[in-house]
Amino acid sequence: MKTTITKDKTDKFVSEYEAVFEPKDYLYFYEKMTAPKITQKQIKFLVRELGLDKPKKILDMPCGFGRHSNCLAKLGHKVTGVDLMPGFLEMAKACAKKMKVKVDYIQADMRKIHLREKFDRIVILFTSFGYYTDEENFKVMKNMSNLLKIDGLLCFDTFNRDAFLRGFLPSFVTQKGDDFMIDQNSFDSITGRLNVKRVVIRDGLRKDKPFSLRLYSPTEMKELLKRAGFKLHQIYSDWNANPFTSDSRRMIIIAKKVR
């Protein structure tokens, strides 16, 4: 899947999402950020803040390699996990089998998702929202609204554009042994997009993995949710449920479907 984010007629940024989310490289460099200890902290947050003390129907999308889906299923919830990448889904199914839990894993594009059932809760975790055009991002949000029951809750995390830009770094390097993930960053204040020219050097081989991510201010996000049929219910700065402030680099958002 190659997506072109067009800024104007002559200036284009090409996002190669299949390369960005290729499981082996992705999990290799994000190993610490997806570690079981961090996942358990996030699960505890979801249980507490989303009222998961009783069995619920939960949609995890995109579910990646199933680290949240399988843990939620282990707690007795009926979970559906959706992802576009077949490699992640294979890993998720293998983990579910090992954990002896049942999760309905589906390969689908979150922009075009059509499911018959309605869910009590939907989670979109680990900065998984904002990779498409504004129109497509709204479509994703509207799809979430259509898949939720009235008064159902949506939880997702993303960057807080305001604080992110105050600490903006034009380049960032992640090193693991002799391997490198190099991000060259630029921000377009007209489109609100962070454009990243990512280069992975692993085992002596270079791979280019560019991507573009829409960054939202809290005000923009509140308006986007309202347009899609949600009401902002709560916003935190981290998975410890610390209050959100203008200095919070991230937004952990909980929204309620109202129409």
| Residue range 37-82, pLDDT digits in tens | 999 999 999 999 999 999 999 999 999 999 999 999 999 999 999 9
- State the pLDDT at residue 9: 41
- State the pLDDT at residue 15: 87
Domains of the chain, CATH where assigned: 17-159+217-257 (3.40.50.150)
pLDDT mean over 26-41:
97
Residues 6+ apart with CB under 8 A from 12: 4, 5, 6
Q: Which residue has the higher pLDDT, 5 or 212?
A: 212
**12 vs 120, 139, 171, 186, 196, CA distance in Å?**
39, 22, 20, 13, 13
The answer to whether the CB of 254 falls within 8 A of the CB of 50 is yes
pLDDT band at residue 7 under the 50/70/90 scheme: very low
The share of the chain scoring above pLDDT 90, in percent, equals: 93
Is the per-residue pLDDT at 4 higher than 60? Answer: no
SS (H, E, C) the chain: CEEEEECCCCCEEEEEHHHHCCHHHHHHHCCHHHCHHHHHHHHHHHHHHCCCCCCCEEEECCCCCCHHHHHHHHCCCEEEEEECCHHHHHHHHHHHHHHCCCEEEEECCCCCCCCCCCEEEEEECCCCCCCCCHHHHHHHHHHHHHHEEEEEEEEEEEEEHHHHHHCCCCEEEEEECCEEEEEEEEEECCCCEEEEEEEEEECCEEEECCEEEECECHHHHHHHHHHHCEEEEEEECCCCCCECCCCCCEEEEEEEECC
Cα distance from N-terminal residue to C-terminal residue, the chain:
33
Is the per-residue pLDDT at 10 higher than 50? Answer: no
Full-model pTM: 0.94
pLDDT digits (tens, 9 = 90+) for 111-160: 999 999 999 999 999 999 999 999 999 999 999 999 999 999 999 999 99
Is the per-residue pLDDT at 11 higher than 80? Answer: no
Q: Which residues pair with 19 in a beta bridge?
A: none
CA distance 62 to 123: 8
Q: Specify the amino acid at residue 150.
A: I
- State the pLDDT at residue 16: 92
Q: Is the peptide bond before 62 cis (omega within 30 degrees of 0)?
A: yes
pLDDT averaged over the chain?
Answer: 95
Residues 6+ apart with CB under 8 A from 228: 138, 141, 142, 144, 145
- State the pLDDT at residue 12: 67
Q: What is the separation of C-alpha 4 from the centre of its chain, rounded to a whole number of angstroms?
A: 20
CA distance 154 to 152: 7
Is the per-residue pLDDT at 220 higher than 90? Answer: yes
